[in-house]
Amino acid sequence: MSITIGIDVGTSGTKTLAIDEHGKILASASSEYPCSHPRPGWSEQDPELWWRATQETLRAVLSSGKFAPADVAGVGLSGQMHGSVFLDASGEVVRPALLWNDQRTAAQCAEIEDRAGGREALIKMVGNRAMTGFTAPKLLWVRKEEPANWERVRQVLLPKDYVRYRLTGAYATEVSDASGTLLLDVANRRWSRELLAKLDIDPALLPPCHESFEVSAQVSAIGSEATGLPVGTPVVGGGGDQPAGAVGNGIVRPGVASATMGTSGVVFAHTDKPGFDPLGRLQRGCHAVPGAWHVMGVVLSAGGSLQWFRNELGKAEVELSRTQGIDPYLLLTAEAAIAGPGAEGLFFLPYLTGERSPHFDPDAKGGWIGLTVRHGRPHLIRAVLEGATYAMRDSLELIREMGSEIDHIRVSGGGARNALWKQIQADIYGCDVHTLNSTEGPAFGVALLAQVGTGGFATVPEACDATIMTLESTNVDHRAKAYYDKAYKVYQSLYQNLRGTFREISQLVEGGF
């Protein structure tokens, strides 16, 4: 058997799985960890948490008894994009990593666009506008705000690449994840020396950049002792969680898009050319497929909005989960089903950590709008599900506007595991949605990339065709669609009407009491 392992270093936990050459999942394990928010809008994590979770899940998978560790042909790595891991000359972590949903770098984003010669010039260089979640502004923030830490920095890695370093001892990354740093020349699939020079960033701080299927390193003796993987096991480039998840969903040809409802929500489409939007309304990057690119829109708190509701307003459901093993999300969505489409005019803005696509506004705030005495918890929950989906539609509409013909949407993440949320997505997107035989997304995608990199398949599309199939389809309810089309226009107007108010609220918070 050709066994490969996929490891996905997520925001709330790490998942590891093993597949055979047919794509059958032989074993999987996951481990959760916390995220730190030391100030409003800040988001940090200790990279050691990722490494401990990787060790724990790898050992669980390797001890499953379904295969021998010696059967592992290769490993693929995926992870949350944009995070910044700062290492010193000895490879030790300098400070906690700044994550993708950290919003502290608005001033640095403006500085980057100014140094680049304007937004359009920046987009021509690296394919994207400066966004607060990206890696480059985090480097400038640490350089300005923490000069003592910056003096120690000798290497900057993305989250999954830190795990690669601990596993192999090698510094390396690959083009799909590097696209989200704002430092990669996306069109030419290499670091942008032009922008690095303009920002006064030493290129030596960045690791060598591979294609996603290429072998980047081998498991070291230290990595083997820590995890149980044999010394010399190949580790391929892998992918950022969204491009890797797209491979896991078979989004490797034009015309097919994925809508992933995780903590963040992502609408992702394959393109054969880099193509740039001078307004930078969507994120562009190299796909994990060689010679291909992608376009995607990101909702910062999609599934994260329902997770927030569960944690803060669903404590009874969480307790039932603890004592009786009942999934709290099933209880919450069952309650939401009591309210019909539109939740009787109640809207929810899912901007709990600011917003990326299409507003790029770190000051954006969440909230329910339209509350009346008729509304109860079912309406509140349903509005959260619908609000996150409206936000996803914002990105889908932009992808269509920019010329991508999308006639097939594959859904994954938490929003694909619930019948009500799948129906809401079909009706709001106005397109039938499909779930697949694998729901493991990024971890499955990088396991497939490892299959390609170690000779199991000739190409990434071939690997997807051999292992991925549609399991279930949810058809559009055209009556609900007609309602949602009208309601979506109202939803769009809410942010525009409240944008100035959101900024005033941020100023109040910054000023303190």
Co-location of 209 and 348 in the same domain? no
> What six digits make up the tokens of 447?
């396991």
**Number of domains within the chain:** 2
pLDDT at 243 over 90: yes
Confidence of residue 297 (pLDDT cuts 50, 70, 90): very high
Predicted pLDDT of residue 452: 98
Structural domain boundaries, residue 323: 297-431+475-505
**What H or E segment, with its residue span, contains residue 284?**
strand 283-286
Mean pLDDT value across residues 428-432: 96
More confident residue, 360 or 212: 212
Number of neighbouring beta carbons within 10 Å of residue 470: 12
Q: Residue 196: inside a domain, yes or no?
A: yes
For residues 245-264, average pLDDT: 91
Give yes or no: residues 406 and 452 share one domain: no
Q: Where are the beta strands (DSSP E) in 177-230?
A: 184-185, 190-191, 209-210, 215-218
Whether the per-residue pLDDT at 309 is higher than 90: the answer is yes
Q: Find the range with the poorest average confidence among 9-18, 130-139, 224-233, 352-361.
A: 352-361
| pLDDT greater than 90 at residue 425 | yes
Q: Which of 1-10, 47-56, 279-288, 423-432 has the lowest mean pLDDT?
A: 279-288
- The answer on 233 and 119 residing in a single domain is yes
**Contact at 8 Å (CB) between 362 and 106?**
yes
**Statement to judge: residues 212 and 320 lie in one domain:** no
Looking at residue 437, what is its pLDDT? Answer: 87
Query: Could you report the per-residue pLDDT of 19-70, keeping only the tens digit for each?
Result: 999 999 999 999 999 999 999 889 999 999 999 999 999 999 999 999 999 9
Give the CATH number of the domain where residue 93 resides.
Answer: 3.30.420.40
292 found inside a domain: no
pLDDT category at 412 given cuts 50, 70, 90 is: confident
CA 75, CA 64: separation in Å to the nearest integer?
A: 17
Question: Which ranges of 239-376 does DSSP label H, i.e. alpha helix?
Answer: 241-248, 303-313, 315-324, 328-336
Phi-psi category of residue 238: left, alpha or beta, with phi > 0 → left and psi -120 to 50 → alpha: left
Domain assignment present for residue 262? The answer is no
Give the whole-number percent of the chain exceeding pLDDT 90. Answer: 84
Residues 445 and 398 in one domain: no
The structure tokens listed for 148 are 């003592």
Put simply, whether the predicted model's pTM sits higher than 0.95 gets the answer no
pLDDT of 210 above 80: yes
- Sign of the C-alpha dihedral computed for residues 145, 151, 157 and 159 taken in this order: negative
**pLDDT classification of 289: cutoffs 50, 70, 90:** very high
Q: Say yes or no: 68 and 211 in one domain.
A: yes
- Catalytic annotation, residues: 241
Per the listing, tokens 């993440």 go with: 413
Residue 81 forms part of a structural domain: yes
**For position 322, what pLDDT does the model report?**
86
Looking at the fold, whether 155 and 181 belong to one and the same domain comes out as yes
Helix/strand/coil for 350: coil
Both 410 and 456 in a single domain?
no
With residues binned 3-state (H G I as helix, E B as strand, rest as coil), the percentages for the chain, rounded to 5, are: 45, 20, 35
Query: Which pLDDT does position 405 carry in this prediction?
Result: 82
Rg of the chain, C-alpha, whole Å: 22
Does residue 280 lie in a domain region? Answer: no
Question: Are residues 445 and 413 part of one domain?
Answer: no
Most confidently modeled of 435-439, 470-474, 483-487? Answer: 483-487
Residue 428: closest CA among 371, 380, 389: 389
- Considering the domain boundaries, does residue 51 fall inside one? yes
In this model, does residue 350 exceed pLDDT 80? yes
Residue 147 lies in a domain: yes
The answer, yes or no, to whether the previous bond of 358 is cis (omega within 30 of 0) is yes
Report whether pLDDT(510) > 90. no
Claim to verify: residue 96 and residue 214 sit in the same structural domain? yes
Whole-number Å distance between alpha carbons of 68 and 301: 40
Burial class (CB in 10 A: 0-12, 13-18, 19+), 273: exposed
Is the pLDDT at 278 greater than 80, yes or no? no
Detail the residues annotated as belonging to a binding site for substrate: 81-82
Task: Give tens-digit pLDDT for 378-404.
Answer: 999 999 999 999 999 999 999 988 878
Distance CA 238, CA 176 (A): 8
Bridge partners of 408, per DSSP, are 256
Mean pLDDT of 365-373: 98
Question: How confident is the model at residue 401, as a pLDDT?
Answer: 86
Tell me how far CA of residue 29 lies from CA of 172, 246, 495, 501, in angstroms: 25, 21, 40, 44
User: Which residues define the annotated binding site?
Assistant: 81-82
Average pLDDT, the chain: 95
Is residue 188's pLDDT more than 90? yes
Residue 256 lies in a domain: no
Q: Say yes or no: 19 and 166 in one domain.
A: yes
Residues 203 and 327 in one domain: no
Longest dimension (CA), the chain: 65
